[in-house]
Amino acid sequence: MLKRIFALLLACITVFTLMAACNNAPANEPMVPPENTPATGTTGTPGMSDTEATPAPATDEPARGGSLKVTINSDPVMLDAMLSNTESEQIPAWHIFEGALSCDASGAVWPGVCEYTFENNVLTLTAREGVTFHNGDACTAEDVYASAQRWIETVSAAKELAENLTNMEIVDNSVVLTFSKAIPTVLITVASYDQGLAIIPKSICEKYGSEQIADSDCIGTGPYMFAEHLADRYVLLKRYDAYVPAAANEGATGMAAPKMAYCDEIYFYPVSDKTARITGVQTGEYDIGIGIPSNMIADLSTDPNLVVEMRDLGIFACMIFNNQSGPCTDKNLRNAILACLDMNELMLAAQGSADLYRLNPCYMMTSSQWYVEESLGKYNNVDLEAAKAYLEQSSYDGQPLVFVTTKDNDYFYKTAIVVAQMVKQIGIEMDVQVYDNPTLKQYRNDPTKYDIFSGGLGDKPDPTQVVWMDETWAGFWSNETKNELAEQLANETDFDKRYAIWTEICKLVYEEVPNITFGERINPVVYRNYVHNIFDTKQKYYWNTWISE
């Protein structure tokens, strides 16, 4: 009997393996002939190789059709664009929904679902002609009003705007928002990718209120509509054939550009493991993978089936001091640390390659209109003598400074280790404590737990939104001059004057050194050579991507 059992087991395993090995994945469906529609963005440069390659299609003409398979970092909890606060949620959500307004690659505001005027503290939003929701209903002023109402009740940035909102009403098919004073951030907040004013049907707003919208009720005006969400497997969006691109946005860039929805459908696969993402793209399970380890770029670039490109990430690697208590409240100690830091070495450690970072003394991207180069000569200026002089003037007693970091973001850990080595040259000891990300997030809000913590701060559309401007944010930088300048920035509407105020704030940061930014991170993206026109901004979107095989 045992012999029979053993023989049966062996037979089963043989059969299973044969069944599995003989099975073929289904082939892609043939492509629909391309239409003559314009496109923006790049197609990238194929990797150089002498080996036989699957020939890349020799056309830049967009082609409609096909199924695009992209990766996101985790399974989205919700697809409610108004409430989503993680990239994994925002990427698919903004394919379904559109904002009342939109931002281009430089941060300028364009129409979205609505045309707009903004004069004398009055914002008027008028839904564009022909805009419909995925259920076929026309988008009306009532929908815009209901969306705005929900937005100011649930989103914290909108609540701040609403503190100065004196009236909101529907006038002649437009929604008119009247503010009590000039607020320079109104348009940028409405158009924000991060919890901006997404236009949702009135019925859905009333049904859900401040609660997140269920996937099946995610009915937007976007170029793609919700089809399916299998938890931990994929989110599937299908093209909304009745979508009408915004003609007024012709020539705009980034997310404000007209949306052409070339692909029939887009699969968003949650893949948290980098290796799985990359091997998936190499074998064709996925078409696009984001975030490759730097040591794989060279190998992937030689694969003739793949294209590797760099994309701005909009994230600044940095370290934040405890400005509330402990030895780092001493400005001289902070300056001493800054004077030891070689930013090139730090960013090379963080990113692994000189192609994957940009030195930047400011918390705004170099491509941003808010970029300020001024750093009082202190950024990336290693001067150990000056550092020692600062240290002598400080009250540092030789006790190790607690530097809290995490390996969950490996660049956090790498920069912490390098900083510890650099400051050791002048006698500053660091106790680098490594935790997981949730623990880091908790500890950084407790001034008794750290002296310094690793940070990765995101680029913001307006300097008033930079996190450390708020003295209650971790790091707790409280400074009267900063507060005065922030108040001026929040109330001034002229860009040149605002830029001058922001420049003063940036100088203050280098006088007081409440935190230190190392540089701007760049992200490698790998995609199959039949994919064209992927996003060219830090926001990731695929409505103008097409595939041809």
Partner 1 sequence: MLRYIIRRFLTAIPTLLVVAVLIFVLIRCIPGNPAQVMLSEDATNEEVAAMERKLGLDQPIFVQFIKWISNAIRGDFGKSLYYNEPVLGILAARLGPTMLLVLYAMLIATTLGVGLGVIAAVNRGHIIDQIAMVISIVGISMPGFWIGLNLVIFFSVKNPIFPSVGYVTVAEGGLSQALYYLTLPAVALGLQRSASIARVTRSSMLDVLGNDYIRTARSKGLGNKKIIGLHALKNAANPIITQIGISVAHLMGGSVVMEKLFNIPGIGRLAFDSISRRDYPTIQGHILFVAVIYVFVNLLVDLLYKVFDPRIKYN
Among the residue ranges 145-153, 281-289, 372-380, 416-424, the one whose residues contact partner 1 (CB under 8 A)? 281-289
Residue 441 as a binder of partner 1 (CB under 8 A): the answer is: yes
Provide, rounded to whole angstroms, the least separation between the CB of residue 440 and partner 1. 9
The Cα angle at residue 218 between residues 212 and 224, in degrees rounded to 5: 140
Residue 212 as a binder of partner 1 (CB under 8 A): the answer is: yes
Torsions phi, psi for 460 (to 5 deg)? -115, 150
Measured between alpha carbons, how far is 312 from 321 in angstroms, rounded to an integer?
Answer: 26
Residue 282 as a binder of partner 1 (CB under 8 A): the answer is: yes
Residues 6+ apart with CB under 8 A from 61: 34, 36
Provide, rounded to whole angstroms, the least separation between the CB of residue 325 and partner 1. 16
- Under a CB-based contact definition with an 8 Å cutoff, are residues 498 and 294 in contact? no
Within residues 488-547, the interface with partner 1 by CB under 8 A covers: none
Residue 436 as a binder of partner 1 (CB under 8 A): the answer is: yes
* Selected binder of partner 1 within 193, 224, 226, 286 (CB under 8 A): 286
Q: In what order do the strands lie in the sheet with 165-171?
A: 114-119, 122-127, 174-179, 165-171
Number of CB atoms found within 10 A of residue 158's CB:
21
Residue 298 as a binder of partner 1 (CB under 8 A): the answer is: no
Report which of 338, 471, 478 is spatially closest to residue 394, judged by C-alpha positions: 338
Within residues 215-244, the interface with partner 1 by CB under 8 A covers: 230-233
- Residue 23 or 395: the one with the smaller Cβ distance to partner 1 is 23
Provide, rounded to whole angstroms, the least separation between the CB of residue 75 and partner 1. 8
- Residue 202 or 277: the one with the smaller Cβ distance to partner 1 is 277
Residue 445 as a binder of partner 1 (CB under 8 A): the answer is: yes
- Residue 20 or 48: the one with the smaller Cβ distance to partner 1 is 20
Residues 6+ apart with CB under 8 A from 274: 291, 292, 293
Direct distance between the N- and C-terminal alpha carbons of the chain, in angstroms, rounded to an integer: 55
* Selected binder of partner 1 within 244, 432, 467, 508 (CB under 8 A): 467
Residue 392 as a binder of partner 1 (CB under 8 A): the answer is: no
Measured between alpha carbons, how far is 143 from 151 in angstroms, rounded to an integer?
Answer: 12
Q: Could you give the angle at which helices 343-351 and 410-424 cross, rounded to 10 degrees?
A: 150
CA distance to 323, 339, 392, 394, per residue, from 389 (Å): 21, 10, 5, 9
* Selected binder of partner 1 within 10, 242, 310, 500 (CB under 8 A): 10
- Under a CB-based contact definition with an 8 Å cutoff, are residues 335 and 383 in contact? no
Q: How many CA atoms within 13 Å lie on the side-chain side of 417?
A: 11
Site track 343-382 with partner 1 (rule: CB under 8 A), x = hit: ----------------------------------------
- Residue 88 or 126: the one with the smaller Cβ distance to partner 1 is 88
- Residue 61 or 408: the one with the smaller Cβ distance to partner 1 is 408
- Under a CB-based contact definition with an 8 Å cutoff, are residues 301 and 85 in contact? no
**DSSP per-residue letters across 514-544:** SEEEEEEEEEEEEEETTEE----SSS---TT
Provide, rounded to whole angstroms, the least separation between the CB of residue 32 and partner 1. 25
Site track 25-64 with partner 1 (rule: CB under 8 A), x = hit: x---------------------------------------
Q: How many residues does the chain have?
A: 549
Residue 435 as a binder of partner 1 (CB under 8 A): the answer is: yes
The Cα angle at residue 77 between residues 76 and 81, in degrees rounded to 5: 75
* Selected binder of partner 1 within 49, 283, 478, 483 (CB under 8 A): 283
Residue 272 as a binder of partner 1 (CB under 8 A): the answer is: yes
Point out which residues bind partner 1 (CB under 8 A). 1-3, 6, 9-10, 12-13, 16-17, 19-23, 25, 74-75, 77, 85-86, 156, 194, 212, 230-233, 269, 271-273, 275-276, 279-280, 282-283, 285-286, 408, 435-439, 441-443, 445, 457-458, 465, 467, 470, 472-473
